[in-house]
Structure 1
C-alpha cells in the first residue's frame, strides 16, 4: 500500500484533498471505526493510529458513506483537525480530505476550568456547552476552552475560545417528535411571495405597509395543503421534522387550529407560522423525493425572533437545530426564499456539522443556500428568478442576485455574501442547462463531503465527483466550465484560462490506458513552458519548450488523480487543462 503523493496547498491552513479509486475491505457494517485503520496509511507525512481519532459524524447518502474523524490528543479534540473519508456504495474509497498539523509535537498545557468560565459568562443571553479543545499554532499547542454563546440575537450565535486565564482568544460563527395522527389541512400562504406570484415590482399597491393588510397583498395568498398533527380534535403545526418554539422575543402564540383551514392574513401573527411551515415542509419533502433523507434530526422554528431585527439565521445552540426569522423591515417568514435559504444551512449542518469556518467555506455555504432558494421559487414561477429574497429584499436591503457577472479572484472580498453571488451564479448556469432535479441532487450530494476551511476549488471538485457517481460524469464538462468561467475551478490566484488555437489530444488514452497526452500548437512553433500542478496548485513538473510544434506528457504523471496542465507562452498566452489518471 503506497502513500498518496498529495501536496500541501499554498496556504497551510487549508485542507488537503485527493481523489482516488481504491478498494477498501470492511468486514462489518459501514460506520464502524475499523475503516480508519485502512485509511491512515494512505495519508503521507503522518504516523497516526485509529485511537488518535474519534468518529465525529457518519452519514449515508445516495452515493455512499461519509465519515468525519476528529483528531484528538489525550482524549481531547483538536480544533479544526480532521480526516474526512468518502467511500462509495461499491466500497471504493473515492475521496480523502484532511487537515493535520503539529501531530509530531507533544502537547502539554493547562486548561481553564469550564465552570469558572461559565460563571464569568453569566452576563450573556445564552451559554451552551463549554468544552476543552487543543489548538495548534506555529509556536506549538495551546489548551483552550470552547464556549457556545449568544450575546444578544440567536442568529449571531458563535463559538468563543478562552485560554487558561479566561482571556478570549478568538471567535467563529456558530450559525449561523410528536404524537398523534397526521392530518392534511388547507392553508392560506404566499406562493412563493406576493411579488413573484403577482409578477409586480415592489411599490404602489405592493408595499409592506408595516405589516398591515392590503387588498393587493392579501389577494396573492393561495390555498395549499399542509400536514399537521391532529390531537384531541385540534390541528397542530408540527410533523416529524419541524415544530415551533418560542426561542426569542418578540413573543407570539403559535396557532392551534380547531378546523381543517389555516386562514390568516399577514397582519396576524399566525400567518408567519403557517407560511413558513408550508414552505419548510414542501422543500424538505422535495429533498426526500430526490433521495436524501435529510436532516435526520428535528428542527425548531421561531417565525418571530431576533428581537424584532431584520435578521434571520440558523443556530444549533438550542439543543435541536433552530431556524429563527426576524421581523424588521418585511417579516422574513413571509418570503419563501428566506425560509428555504435558512433551511439549507440546517441541511448542510446535519451532514457536515461544525465545518462552516473559513471565508471560502462560508461563502459557498451562503451560495448553496441561495441556490436552494432560487431552485425552489423558480420551480413555482420564473418571474424575478434573477433575484434572491424577492419580497424581503426591498425595505432595509436589496437582496442578492444569482446572475452576477463577478468572477474570482478579481471580485473576491472579505464579504461572504458578495462571494456567494459568484458561487451561486455557477450553479445557476448548471441549473439552466440540466434542470432542477440533476442540479439539486448534485448540490445536496456535495454537502456530505464539506470540511472546515474548504476552498471553492475543493467544493467544485466535490460537485464534479458527485456528477461522476450520480450521472456517470455526463455533465463533467458543463459543470467544470461553469465553475472555471468564474474562477472557481482552481485555487484562487491561479490565473486561467485564455483562448488559443491549441488542441488537447488523447486525454482519454492518458486517463485510462496510460498513454501519452499531447497538446498540439495549431501548426505554429511555440516558445514557452509546460507545467503540471496537483489539484491544490502545487507545482509537480516544469519543462522549457523552444520552437515546439507540440508537447507530450507521459512519465512525469503516474499516480492516479486529478492534475492541472498549464501551457504558458513567452508572449503571455496561457491555457490550463484539467487532466486525470485513472
Structure 2
C-alpha cells in the first residue's frame, strides 16, 4: 500500500501514472472553512505526490456538489488553456469539514512534459490544424450513417485527449444519428462521442453515449435436465429453484414489452407488459417462455456478431411463444417469424429447441428460400441441431453433449438420457438416406459435430455460418461439403482442408480419391450390381 507525504491515508496507485488514484481512510482535522478552501488546502499538501504543480495552476475549479455524505469538490486539469478530457480530481469533505476521500484522474507532470514537447514540435513544423468543419466532416463519416438517417452534430470543441496517457490536442465531436421510423428493418439510434487528433485526423476514441434499457429475467440455461443433470424430470415435475438462472435482458425498448434489437414477442397474443422491466418468472407463468425466447435468441445473435457476422438476421424476429398446441415448432419463410408449440414440454422452455428453430431463420436470411432440395432440407435440420448442440456443449454433462432437446424429449423419448436427436450417429451417405429431413439431417449434423471435435468450436462455427453464403436454394450435401472447403480457403488459407475432406469422405458425402471416386456410404446392393455389370461386359 502506497503512502502520502503530506497526508495520513491509505492509497491505491494509478495503473498508468503510478500516482495516488484512490485516497481513502483520510485522517484530517475538522474545519469550519468552506469545502472549496478545505479541498484546495488538501491538494496543495499532496501536490508532490500527485506530481502536479504545487500552486494548482493546472487545475480549474468546476463545482461543489452536496449529498448526504457531505460536499464533493471537483477540479478539471487544463493544458495550454484547454481542458484535458477525463483529467479530474474530486475531494470529498464530510459535514464536519474533514477530507475523507480523494479520487484522482489527473495527468502527472512527466506525461505533461511529453505533451509540451509534442506541442512545441508541431508548432516548429507548422503542422496544419484541422478546422471545425473538417473535424465535423470526419466525425460524421466515422459515425457511418445509413441512407435516410437524420444527422446532427451536437457539439465540436477543441480539447486535449489522453492518448496513451499523454494529452494530445483533439477535437471532441458528438454526432447524433437517428434512423427513419419507416425503415423496413428497425435500427437503433446512436449518439457518437469521438476524439479526433487535431492535426492527423485520426480517430483516437469513439463510443456510443446512448444507454439502452436492460431488464431482469429468469430462464432455464439451457434446460433443467441439463442444469440439474436429472433425467427423471418430466413435464409435471416440480422444478427446484436451482434450475433457474437470473439474467439481464439487454437493450429492451421503453414500451414495457419483451422486445429489443433482435427479438420481439409482438406475435404472441396477450403478451406480458411490465414498465419496471422485471420479468423474473417461473415456468408456471406463461410469460416465462417470452423471457426464454428473448434471452436465448438475443444472446446467440450477439455471439454471431462477435464472430464477425454482423449482417446475419441482425433485426428483431417476431416470436409467438405458444402459437400451436401440438409438440412442434416452426419458422415461417413467408412471415419471417417463429412459432412454438405447447404439446408435452412447451418447446419454448427448452433453449436448444429455440436455437434450432432460430437456425432455420439464420439460413433463410443468408440464402432466401434455402432447402428447396430434400438434401437441403436435411442440411437445414442438421444445422439447427448442430447450432444448439455446439452452443450449449460446454455446459452439458458428457453423455448429453452430442444430443439436443433433452428437456423437450422427456415427453416422448425412452432413451437415457432423453433426446430429440443425436449428432454422433454412424450414418453414411447415401446408404442411410431415408427421405425424411430430420432423420437425414443426422448425417449432416454428424459431419459438423466431427468437424467441431477436429477443429474446435470457434473455427467450426465460423466456417459453418460462413459457408451458407456460398450455397444456393437447392444445394445438397456434396455442395455443402465443397462450400465448407472453399470457406476455409478464404478464412484460413485452407489449413483445415484435409480435416474437412477426411470427415466428408468417410461419411460418403465426398467421393474417395483413393478408391477411384467411390463413396464410403454406397449401399451394398448398388456395389453388387456394379460388380455384375463389370463382370458381364467389361471384366477380365
TM range (shorter): 0.5 to 0.7
Match of residue 286 from structure 1:
303
Match of residue 298 from structure 1:
316
Bigger RCO (CA 8 Å, 6+ sep): 1
Tell me, yes or no, if structure 1 residue 274 matches structure 2 residue 270.
Answer: no
Flag the 1:235–1:454 CA change in 2: closer, same or farther, 3 A: same
Residue correspondence of structure 1 range 489-508 to structure 2 within 5 A: 489-490=510-511
Tell me, yes or no, if structure 1 residue 483 matches structure 2 residue 465.
Answer: no
Flag the 1:471–1:329 CA change in 2: closer, same or farther, 3 A: same
Match of residue 374 from structure 2:
359
Do the aligned partners of 2:218 and 2:245 also contact (CA within 8 Å) in 1? Answer: yes
1:215, distance to aligned residue in structure 2 (A): 4.1
Q: Which has the larger radius of gyration?
A: 2
Match of residue 394 from structure 1:
410
1:378, distance to aligned residue in structure 2 (A): 1.0
Structure 1 unaligned regions, length at least 5: 1-176, 499-530, 534-569, 572-582
Task: Decide which structure has greater strand share.
Answer: 1
Tell me, yes or no, if structure 1 residue 462 matches structure 2 residue 483.
Answer: yes
Do the aligned partners of 1:423 and 1:488 also contact (CA within 8 Å) in 2? Answer: no
Write the distance in 2 (CA, Å) between the matches of 1:387 and 1:532: 32
Q: Secondary structure at the match of 1:300?
A: strand
TM-score under structure 1 length normalisation: 0.50
1:182 to 194, 206, 212: 212
1:380, distance to aligned residue in structure 2 (A): 3.2
- Deviation readout 1:380-425 (Å, 9 max, x if unpaired): 3344112111111221355000000111122111111111111111
Do the aligned partners of 1:314 and 1:345 also contact (CA within 8 Å) in 2? Answer: yes
Write the distance in 2 (CA, Å) between the matches of 1:433 and 1:409: 23
Residue correspondence of structure 1 range 31-430 to structure 2 within 5 A: 177=186, 182-201=212-231, 203=232, 206-209=233-236, 214-216=238-240, 218-231=241-254, 235-246=256-267, 252-293=269-310, 294-306=312-324, 308-318=325-335, 321-383=336-398, 384-396=400-412, 398-430=419-451
- Deviation readout 1:329-382 (Å, 9 max, x if unpaired): 110001111111111111111111013111111111111111101111113334
Structure 2 unaligned regions, length at least 5: 1-185, 190-210, 414-418, 519-533, 536-540
1:186, distance to aligned residue in structure 2 (A): 2.5
Could you say what the CA RMSD is over the residues aligned between the two structures, in angstroms? 2.5
Flag the 1:285–1:408 CA change in 2: closer, same or farther, 3 A: same
Write the distance in 2 (CA, Å) between the matches of 1:222 and 1:296: 26
Q: Secondary structure at the match of 1:325?
A: strand
TM-score under structure 2 length normalisation: 0.54
1:236, distance to aligned residue in structure 2 (A): 2.8
1:230, distance to aligned residue in structure 2 (A): 4.4
1:297, distance to aligned residue in structure 2 (A): 4.2
Flag the 1:532–1:186 CA change in 2: closer, same or farther, 3 A: closer
Write the distance in 1 (CA, Å) between the matches of 2:440 and 2:487: 23
1:316, distance to aligned residue in structure 2 (A): 2.6
Do the aligned partners of 2:262 and 2:297 also contact (CA within 8 Å) in 1? Answer: no
Write the distance in 1 (CA, Å) between the matches of 2:397 and 2:505: 26
Task: Decide which structure has greater helix share.
Answer: 2
Write the distance in 1 (CA, Å) between the matches of 2:459 and 2:409: 28
Q: Secondary structure at the match of 2:409?
A: coil
Do the aligned partners of 1:360 and 1:455 also contact (CA within 8 Å) in 2? Answer: yes
Do the aligned partners of 2:367 and 2:473 also contact (CA within 8 Å) in 1? Answer: no
Write the distance in 1 (CA, Å) between the matches of 2:436 and 2:334: 24
Do the aligned partners of 1:189 and 1:223 also contact (CA within 8 Å) in 2? Answer: yes
Flag the 1:275–1:355 CA change in 2: closer, same or farther, 3 A: closer
Write the distance in 2 (CA, Å) between the matches of 1:282 and 1:371: 17
Do the aligned partners of 2:266 and 2:320 also contact (CA within 8 Å) in 1? Answer: yes
1:303, distance to aligned residue in structure 2 (A): 0.8
Write the distance in 1 (CA, Å) between the matches of 2:517 and 2:407: 48
Flag the 1:460–1:532 CA change in 2: closer, same or farther, 3 A: closer
Write the distance in 1 (CA, Å) between the matches of 2:495 and 2:187: 43
Write the distance in 1 (CA, Å) between the matches of 2:253 and 2:366: 31
Do the aligned partners of 1:186 and 1:223 also contact (CA within 8 Å) in 2? Answer: yes
Do the aligned partners of 2:386 and 2:445 also contact (CA within 8 Å) in 1? Answer: yes
Flag the 1:358–1:385 CA change in 2: closer, same or farther, 3 A: same
Write the distance in 2 (CA, Å) between the matches of 1:437 and 1:473: 16
Runs of 4+ deviating beyond 6 Å: 178-181
